[in-house]
């Protein structure tokens, strides 16, 4: 990644933090009131 972008700095990995993105959930209560149902 650094070679492709030309980045000359240092990358530091903080192993105390969880990896990846937490699962995101949408609030579908509005569309459900209008009759829409999530599949």
* pLDDT tens sequence across 1-39: 889 999 999 988 888 887 777 778 888 899 999 999 888
What pLDDT score does 37 carry? 87
What pLDDT score does 6 carry? 94
CA atoms within 13 Å, Cβ hemisphere of 38: 8
Whole-model pTM above 0.85? no
What pLDDT score does 21 carry? 75
- For residues 13 and 15, give the distance between their C-alpha atoms in angstroms, rounded to a whole number: 6
Per-residue b or e along 10-25, where b marks 16 or more CB atoms closer than 10 Å to that residue's CB: eeeeeeeeeeeeeeee
């Amino acid at each position: 990644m650094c070679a492709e972008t030309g980045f000359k700095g240092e990358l530091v990995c903080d192993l105390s933090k969880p990896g990846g993105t937490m699962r995101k959930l949408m609030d579908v209560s509005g569309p459900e009131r209008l009759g829409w149902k999530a599949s």
